[in-house]
Structure 1
Amino acid sequence: MATGWAREGAVQEQIDDTVDEAVQRARSQLPQGDSLAFCEECDEPIPEARRQALPGVRLCITCQSAADQSAAGSTFNRRGSKDSQLR
């Protein structure tokens, strides 16, 4: 594949680095420590099975779903097109 001035494999290395960074960011956002018995947001009990499956869980399923939906809107554009850079 012709890459211009870039050395062979540089594009794939950039892709791999981007994926590795995303995985590390996701891992760093996983809860850690002791799980709570009651949700931080609504004070509803968190089921024992959820607490065992996700160590460090702090929200019930309903509140976690709401938090995930609000966080999903905060993505960024990696397309790199000229139009997206001008906005």
Structure 2
Amino acid sequence: MATGWAGDGAVQEQIDATVEDAVKRARSRLQKGPSLERCEECDAPIPKARQAAVPGVRLCVACQEAHDRDEAAFSGYNRRGSKDSQLR
């Protein structure tokens, strides 16, 4: 049942587009090229198992965890939060 000017599948189309954009963004962040043997941040050796498991790996586990923590801290606003909490 459509309300206003929106078509019947408008909400689902918006959800699908949001998911598709997120997948594209995640794929664009994947490493490309050969894995490094040493971490580009701290020069620690990267184990062969990690190189095989993560193609194009550039960081050791410790540096990758720190990078992920830093990235999560600046991930944008909380879409699940209430409108009032986003305005503060």
Q: Which residue of 2 aligns with 1:43?
A: 43
The alignment's TM-score, normalised by the length of structure 2, stands at 0.85
Displacement of 1:74 in angstroms is: 1.8
Secondary structure of 1:58's counterpart equals coil
Q: Which residue of 2 aligns with 1:56?
A: 56
CA RMSD between the two structures: 1.9
Residue-by-residue CA offset, 1:27-84 (whole Å, 9 max, x unaligned): 1101110000000011000000000111110000000000000001122233596536
The alignment's TM-score, normalised by the length of structure 1, stands at 0.86
- Code of the residue aligned with 2:26 in structure 1: it is A
- Number of residue pairs matched? 87
Choose 40-49 or 69-78, whichever is displaced more: 69-78
Looking at structure 2, the residues matched to 22 and 79 of structure 1 have their Cα atoms a distance apart, in angstroms, of 16
- Code of the residue aligned with 1:70 in structure 2: it is D
**CA 1:85 to 1:66, structure 2 compared with 1: closer, same or farther past 3 Å?**
closer
Q: Which residue of 1 aligns with 2:84?
A: 83
Map of 1:3-82 to 2, 5 A cutoff? 3-77=3-77, 78-79=79-80, 82=83
Specify every segment of 5 or more residues in structure 2 that has no aligned partner in the other structure, as ranges: none
Looking at structure 1, the residues matched to 56 and 28 of structure 2 have their Cα atoms a distance apart, in angstroms, of 13
Looking at structure 2, the residues matched to 16 and 83 of structure 1 have their Cα atoms a distance apart, in angstroms, of 26
Specify every segment of 5 or more residues in structure 1 that has no aligned partner in the other structure, as ranges: none
Looking at structure 1, the residues matched to 2 and 85 of structure 2 have their Cα atoms a distance apart, in angstroms, of 25
